Structure 1
Amino acid sequence: MRARSGKTSKPPLAAALSDGEDFELLWTLDRSQAVALKDAWKEAFPDTPLSCIGKVIEQPEIYLKDDQGLRILPHHGYDHLQQS
């Protein structure tokens, strides 16, 4: 993260959470399907990692769990339509 954030004035975590220059495939699925997906993924893409990065909850806040504990993050992100 630190190496990539050098291209922006944002701190590394802020860049990782809200920058528009990172491209990863992201989707959701029911928790009951997680093990089957991980097994199928390993079989189909043995050299490509698959990571679980969170869960969808019934609250409007965005939470980050890290070495500082659980905290609520402000709502912001990359705006593709913003005029520079």
Structure 2
Amino acid sequence: MKLLYFAWVRERVGHPEEEATPPAGVETVADLVDWLRARGPEYAYAFAPGAAIRAAVDKRHAKPEASIAGAREVAFFPPMTGG
């Protein structure tokens, strides 16, 4: 699956996108965040507990409990504000 990182998430991770194959047992957005957090210090920094990060699975906003089964793309970005 393709992982996309936007704004400060991209800055902390150090690249805008990557291809990844999460291991068995990574079934939800929250599981994916936990797996990413364990991949290295830059991911731990970007996905620190309490960090305000939103996700989209195949271009649809997704809650942490949303399934990533069959997803082609998961994007991570900070909350957006308007005005």
TM-score range for the pair, normalised by the shorter chain length: under 0.3
Normalising by the residue count of structure 2, what TM-score does the alignment of the two structures yield?
Answer: 0.27
Q: Higher Cα Rg: structure 1 or 2? A: 1
Return the structure number with greater relative CO, CA threshold 8 A, min gap 6.
Answer: 2
